[in-house]
């Protein structure tokens, strides 16, 4: 049950991060709610699998960098699934940075607390 709750929290955090960037950077890209939900699900599934494969105890920097790159690639090229989405490099970079900061919070609050 902890894995399901952890996945749900990570999904909500991903959606909030993408929506935050979409709200405050409209000149660099456009994502509506459907785009945010679908891309958020793809990013969350891939990052959750990365968290399971590359544990933070082994190499925290490598896992964080890999999640950053995956988020950047999914946002940059994932918009091709939608005909009305518009994303440039800055928007994808802002999304990846925001999600990386949110991921630091996620791991500090949920993963470390679970391990204690």
3-state secondary structure 4-28: HHHHHHHHHHHHHHHHHHHHHCCCC
> Where are the domains positioned within the chain?
2-115
pLDDT tens for the chain, 116 residues long, are 578 888 898 899 999 999 998 888 877 777 888 888 999 999 999 988 887 887 666 666 777 788 899 999 998 888 788 887 788 888 889 999 999 888 888 877 776 655 55
pTM, rounded to two decimals: 0.84
Beta bridge partners, 87, equal: 29
């Amino acid at each position: 049950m902890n894995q399901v709750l952890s996945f749900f929290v990570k999904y909500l955090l991903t959606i909030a991060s993408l929506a935050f960037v979409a709200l405050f950077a409209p000149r660099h890209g456009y994502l509506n709610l459907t785009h945010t939900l679908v891309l958020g699900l793809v990013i969350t599934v891939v990052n959750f699998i990365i968290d399971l494969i590359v544990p933070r105890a082994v190499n925290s920097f490598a896992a964080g960098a890999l999640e950053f790159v995956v988020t950047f690639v999914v946002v940059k090229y994932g918009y091709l699934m939608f005909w009305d989405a518009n994303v440039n490099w800055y928007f994808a970079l802002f999304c990846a940075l925001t999600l990386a900061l949110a991921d630091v919070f996620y791991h500090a609050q949920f993963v470390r607390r679970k391990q204690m």
